[in-house]
Amino acid sequence: MLSDIQEILYDEEQIRHKVIEMGRQLSRDFKDRNPLVICILKGAFIFMADLVKAMDIPLEIDFMAVSSYGASTKSSGVVKIVKDLDVPVEGRDVLIVEDIIDSGLTLSYLIDVLERRNAKSVTVATLFDKPSGRTVELEADYVGYTLPDAFVVGYGLDYAEKYRNLPFIGILKPEVYNR
Ligand SMILES: O=P(O)(O)OC[C@H]1O[C@H](OP(=O)(O)OP(=O)(O)O)[C@H](O)[C@@H]1O
Ligand code: HPA
Ligand SMILES: [Mg+2]
């Protein structure tokens, strides 16, 4: 596994500090708003768990699973809802928790869905942002790290469902997806 990684960008300790800092900021910004915190599966599962532990305010959580990459390093362009929310978002302050924004397609689709369901507000927190990948204009409200133009894995992010369990974020060797 580790031999498939070209370079570690941020290690476990660095990510831990970044997530705690974002959690503290979100606690201040969402105090008394009882946000509905939505984890975008599968990629955001580790970030979500660590982030909500760093938020010491009343909040609720729910999960949505979407998929557009499959076993590729490029978005298929078609965002598919694999699992929808269990609760209505109408009138709620919604906080979307994403692992990465790349083309922006997943989030622009999700924001549209949640706004049409009459959420009171929709805010986006992403741990990683890759602005070089954008095909639609989109900016997150909270960004942990801005990444270079490379396919990354770890801390929830996969290539063909593998590497999600790496505790750090790193660049995958191109020979892994070119072989
Ligand atoms: O900005 P975009 O180009 O849309 O890319 C970002 C999305 O792609 C990944 O999900 P993926 O579809 O791979 O599903 P997964 O989370 O189950 O891996 C990632 O977790 C984001 O949700
Ligand atoms: O760089 C990436 N790595 C893993 N999953 C992704 N989904 C969008 N971009 C990426
Ligand atoms: Mg994926």
* 99 in catalytic set: no
Sorted by sequence, the CB contacts under 8 Å of residue 28 that are 6+ apart come out as none
- pLDDT tens-digit map of 7-24: 999 999 999 999 999 999
Please give the pLDDT value at position 162: 97
Please give the pLDDT value at position 49: 98
Please give the pLDDT value at position 121: 98
The protein residues having their C-beta less than 5 angstroms from ligand 3 (an ion) are: 69, 158
* Separation of alpha carbons 56 and 163, rounded Å: 30
Helix (H, G, I), strand (E, B) or coil at 81: strand
pLDDT band at 1, cuts 50/70/90?
A: confident
* Separation of alpha carbons 6 and 123, rounded Å: 33
Given the residues 50, 93, 102, 129, select the one marked as catalytic: 102
Count CB neighbours of 39 within 10 A: 25
Q: What is the CATH number of domain 2-174?
A: 3.40.50.2020
Please give the pLDDT value at position 179: 83
Q: Residues 106-130: what's their mean pLDDT? A: 97
Which one of 72, 73, 100 would you pick to mutate in the ligand 1 pocket, going by the greatest count of ligand atoms within 8 A of its CB? 100
What residue spans define the domains of the chain? 2-174
Q: How far is the CA of 26 from the centre of ligand 3 (A)?
A: 26
Tell me if 68 CB under 6 Å of ligand 1. Answer: yes
Tell me the C-alpha to C-alpha distance, in Å, between residue 22 and each of 3, 5, 26, 55.
31, 27, 6, 9
Side-by-side strand order, sheet with 121-129:
80-83, 60-67, 36-41, 93-101, 121-129, 142-146
- What phi-psi label fits residue 87: left (phi over 0), alpha (psi between -120 and 50 degrees) or beta? beta
Please give the pLDDT value at position 147: 98
Q: What tokens were used for 39?
A: 């984890």
- pLDDT tens-digit map of 38-57: 999 999 999 999 999 999 99
Q: Residues 161-178: what's their mean pLDDT? A: 97
* Separation of alpha carbons 54 and 127, rounded Å: 14
State which ligand 1 atom lies nearest to the alpha carbon of 158.
18
- pLDDT tens-digit map of 61-113: 999 999 898 889 999 989 999 999 999 999 999 999 999 999 999 999 999 99
Tell me if 151 CB under 6 Å of ligand 2. Answer: yes
The DSSP result for 85-100, as a single string, is -SS--BT-EEEEEEEE
Q: ipTM value of the model?
A: 0.98
pTM value is 0.97
